[in-house]
């Protein structure tokens, strides 16, 4: 997943950087740096973000509830 794809999918789900970080189990700074391409991201970081977004793709109703909590 590219940084641009991450940002586009996060925004499509209406997620803030903070919420995606929580769902992916990484820090807000990690998400910001990944999306900004400011550093070479570790594979594990990209995979955690991708899995969190994929989970939302399959469970949009659940994600909406989780974002409101």
Rounded average pLDDT per 10-residue block, the chain, 69 residues:
91 95 94 84 83 79 39
Chain segment 35-51, per-residue pLDDT in tens: 998 767 778 888 888 88
CATH superfamily of 3-68: lambda repressor-like DNA-binding domains (1.10.260.40)
pTM above 0.75, yes or no: no
Domain ranges of the chain: 3-68
Tokens 């590219």 belong to which residue? 2
Look at residue 61 in the predicted model and tell me its pLDDT. Answer: 44
Pick left, alpha or beta for residue 6 (phi over 0 → left; psi -120 to 50 → alpha; otherwise beta): alpha
Tokens at 38, concatenated: 């400011």
Look at residue 58 in the predicted model and tell me its pLDDT. Answer: 75
């Amino acid at each position: 997943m590219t940084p641009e794809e991450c940002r586009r999918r996060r925004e499509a789900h209406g997620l803030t950087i903070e919420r995606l970080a929580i769902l992916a189990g990484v820090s807000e700074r990690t998400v910001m740096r990944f999306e900004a391409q400011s550093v070479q991201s570790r594979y594990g970081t990209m995979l955690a973000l991708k899995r969190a977004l994929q989970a939302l793709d399959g469970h949009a109703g659940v994600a909406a509830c989780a974002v409101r909590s």
